[in-house]
Homo-oligomer: A and B are copies of this chain.
Amino acid sequence: MENAKVTLQDTIENLLKNKRYATLRDILTTMNPVDIAAIFEELQNEKMPVLYRLLPKDIAADVFVEMEEDTQQFLIHSLSDTELKEVLDDMFLDDVVDMIEEMPANVVKRILRQSTPEDRKQINALLKFPEDSAGSIMTTELVILRPDMTAEEAIKRIRRTGVDKETIYTCYVADNLSKLRGIVTIKDLLLAEDDTKVSDMMDTNVISVNTYTDQEEVAAIIKKYDFLALPVVDTENRLVGIVTIDDAVDVMQEEATEDIQKMAAITPNTDKPYLKIGIFSTWLSRIPWLLLLMISATFTGMIISSFEDALAASVALAAFIPMLMDTGGNTGSQASVTVIRALSLKEIQFKDLIRVLWKEIRVAVLCGISLAAAAFAKILLVDMLLLGNADVTTMVAFVVCLTLAITVVVAKIIGCCLPMFAYKLGFDPAVMASPFITTIVDAVSLIVYFFIATNILQL
């Protein structure tokens, strides 16, 4: 169905082929830069420069910023120096830096050559901040006001200098040593009397971060306080930039993806969208964990081997192994995933360990009883009555259900404790999720199973 109708993509490609440039230009002026960039992604390389040159001047840079890195790279190669300079001048410096970080050295050199000396200096400074730090995602283009300005003077200053700034909605007040003194929103300025002093209306309880603060913390602060932007200061409390909410949203999304990947035993790989990541690189992000977990699973196998005699004596026991292992793994990962998410949303901390444990134990007892009861009914009705399996006795059913209940409780305890301890020790709790917990719980459930079986059934 999706293929049945002519898409905008088709229309634009047809117009390009037929050189209907005036029409194309009209279409492009009605579109949002994000959507235009998406058209470029599906376009054949040789058609890109033509379409790019048709873009209205005032949105060309916006479209460029939204493109994937390989599209940007191809376009840079086909642009003249003057055209490249125009794009760069219209881009915000933090976007230029983001782009440069992904480009090969020769492209970076060409970009730097086309930047103004002042921009070049700032780009080089921004490039030096560690990846994932506030410094690496901040923008240095912000409106700075002085404490002794009046509201009227402040608005005049914004009208004069605001055009090149990423946001004018929050303005920063700094003294002549660049020290951050307060913030004032444009709403405050507009709603104030003309002659009110900035120092009288600014909020002096400024929450700021350091250039080296982790981007995840930056995003969490912006979300917590509903900020539109967060000021970044250097070690001497001098205002050096701001992180805007749109970048914080990207960080939050990226961190959620990384957590999800780690929980599924994948080394995080969020630089590119799924289909753009190479086969080898995908393999590399998945194989280490698979190998590690495979090796640990062989211990589970060794437990089974060491109870060979018990298994041989009561063949019915083996059939319940997958059910016990799977249920243990599932209950454990429910607890671990819930705790990991609560940790990363800062809903709980290590000091809540006892409360978490107490909660999980009570839930586990409820789950254990319900599951054991259901399993007992199922074994009685299906295995014994319906299928008439003579190997499955009431005692076997009892052993299985007792194991199940104990496994569920142990699994929940392990599931909530491991991520909490990992967090306390400074490791990423997300790594302690399903696959890791499953492996441990598998071993535990088997040991419990065979211990109970050998004792109760006297094998």
Contacts and interface: CB of A to CB of B under 8 A. Distances in A.
Interface of A: 2-3, 30-32, 34, 155, 158-159, 162-163, 168-169, 186-187, 190-191, 205, 207, 223-226, 228, 245-246, 249-250, 252-253, 256-257, 259-261, 263-266, 273-275, 279-280, 282-283, 286-287, 289-291, 293-295, 297-298, 300-302, 304-305, 308, 311-312, 315-316, 318-323, 325-327, 329-331, 333-334, 336-339, 341-342, 345, 347-348, 350-352, 355-356, 359, 362-363, 366-367, 370-371, 374-375, 378, 382, 389, 433-435, 438-439, 442, 446
Given A32-B225, A333-B434, A294 B374 contact: yes
B168 A275 contact: no
A12 B275 CA distance: 53
A27 to B, nearest CB: 11
A21 to B, nearest CB: 20
A261 B76 CA distance: 43
Nearest to A156: B190
A341 B261 contact: yes
Nearest to A165: B187
Given A191-B159, A330-B289, A341-B261, A321 B301 contact: yes
A259 to B, nearest CB: 7
Given A34-B224, A338-B264, A318 B304 contact: yes
Contacts of A336: 264
A159 B237 CA distance: 33
28 contacts: A30-B205, A162-B187, A168-B187, A186-B190, A228-B245, A252-B253, A260-B341, A261-B341, A263-B263, A265-B334, A273-B342, A273-B345, A274-B338, A274-B341, A274-B356, A275-B352, A275-B355, A275-B356, A280-B366, A289-B330, A293-B327, A294-B326, A295-B378, A298-B382, A301-B320, A304-B321, A305-B315, A326-B438
Contacts of A260: 256, 259-260, 263, 337, 341
A302 B319 contact: yes
Nearest to A227: B246
A327 B282 contact: no
Contacts of A315: 305, 308, 312
A347 B253 CA distance: 13
A256 B263 CA distance: 13
Contacts of A297: 322-323, 326-327
Given A260-B337, A294-B371, A300-B323, A283 B378 contact: no
B190 A162 contact: yes
Contacts of A282: 359, 363
Given A159-B191, A169-B187, A264-B337, 19 more contacts: A32-B225, A223-B249, A245-B245, A252-B253, A253-B256, A263-B264, A264-B334, A266-B338, A274-B338, A275-B348, A283-B363, A283-B366, A286-B367, A287-B371, A293-B326, A293-B330, A295-B374, A300-B326, A322-B446
A371 B333 CA distance: 24
B338 A323 contact: no
B275 A362 contact: no
Contacts of A257: 341, 345
